Homo-oligomer: A and B are copies of this chain.
Amino acid sequence: MSTQFGSRVRELRTKQKMLLRQLASKLDVDTSIISKIERGDRQLKKEQIPLLATILQADKVELETLWLADQLMQLVKDEPTADEALKSVSKKIKKTK
């Protein structure tokens, strides 16, 4: 249930002695949402990552990468052909670059 993204957010937040309530307020959402995001029950909307990075004084690219990895993981977990599919996509991505 836990996510790389959520764990990292919690790590960043607590390191700054910031409360859920405070982070939620700055993101303009209810406290419960942040709680769920940090525990991996919900996904943060992609568009909110930049603001979150600013609030936490964190690296935006790092958070975006973790967020994307979580989305991918959710898709391939329990998929027997996950490895091959991932490789195929990696290859295709590089070609278009």
Contact = CB atoms under 8 A, between A and B. Distances in A.
A73 interface: yes
A64 B90 contact: no
Contact of A72 (B4, B61, B85): B85
The 5 closest A-B pairs by CB, nearest first: A68-B85, A65-B81, A69-B85, A72-B89, A69-B88
Stoichiometry, as copies per complex, reads: 2
B89 A93 contact: no
A28 interface: no
B85 A65 contact: yes
Contacts of A77: 93
Contacts of A27: none
A61 B81 CA distance: 7
A80 B64 CA distance: 9
Given A69-B88, A88-B69, A82 B75 contact: no
